[in-house]
Amino acid sequence: MARRFLVLCVCAAVVFGIFHWTAGNASADERHSIMDAVFSAIENAENLDLSDGNIKISSYEGPVSNKDKKFMALLRAKIRLAHIFRHLEYPEENLKILKGYEVVRMMLAAAASGSLNTEGAPFDLGDYIVFQLILPLELEPLIKELPAYYTAVKSKADWQEKFNLILETGDAWGPSLNRGKTFHLAGFPKVNTKKEYTMAIDVEFKDESLYYSEADSSIEAWLYSFWLRRYQEGSMETVKTILDWLNKKLDEVEKAVG
């Protein structure tokens, strides 16, 4: 049971990008408390109004076009994930529990009956992640784009040396991403060439619910640094396997709907 629960949490870690699951030695009550906070944050992110009419996008580097649908979808995914992290890092005392322990029970039930073999996983595990996390948070563009950056990383024979050099330039907060130019200067290709992908974006919400600023980052930097973090923690190949599995599930959903 504990192993299956861990597998499910690894899948969630892929979705969230930088999650470090440390509940292996936690008690059942502690795990429930952690998951309750996680899914409360997810519910808040799911309810964000990210429509064009509610967000104003700008950058100190110049005007930002919102015409590229993929760019906008990735930006929305990043904002939702940033919102989740903010709620988990700085939880409010009156954090509203919306799905709460019902979600925990569903997660545990799915983990208990799901297969540990990702190539032949039945309904429970894969479909839960897809229908309860990826689709409600509109993360499918991110899940589909990350493999392209994995391929870009692996396109260089000395990619490990390049990653090590980038990591060596960092401090306690990590290396400077320089809006993605750090990876380009190291010799990795530009995956998305439009200027918006390497601009530091500021997003203001007209309903004043959130302000988001990328500062040193960008979409290109974010997607490359995802794999840099996975390399640093030693989970790169495991995460790629799970992403491939999730993308297969997403393709099945699209075919069923289409």
Q: For the chain, what percent of residues have pLDDT higher than 70? A: 69
CA gap 144, 133 in Å, rounded: 15
Per-residue confidence (pLDDT) for residue 12, from 0 to 100: 54
Q: Which of 35-49, 83-97, 101-115 has the lowest mean pLDDT?
A: 101-115
Q: Report pLDDT digits (tens) over 163-216.
A: 999 999 877 777 889 999 999 999 999 999 999 999 999 998 887 777 888 888
**Joined tokens for residue 164:** 């090590």
CB atoms within 10 A of CB 153: 23
122 pLDDT exceeds 50? no
Please say whether the beta carbons of 107 and 128 come within 8 A: yes
- pTM of the full predicted structure? 0.77
pLDDT at 238: 83
| 253's tokens | 């959903």
Q: Are strands 211-213 and 55-58 parallel, antiparallel or unpaired?
A: unpaired
Q: Which residue has the higher pLDDT, 19 or 156?
A: 156
Q: Are 239 and 249 within 8 A, CB to CB? A: no
AA identity, residue 221 = A
Q: Helix, strand, or coil here: 105?
A: helix
Averaged pLDDT of the chain: 76
pLDDT digits (tens, 9 = 90+) for 130-171: 777 788 889 899 999 999 999 999 999 999 999 999 999 877
Contacts of 163 (CB under 8 A, 6+ apart): 153, 228, 231, 232
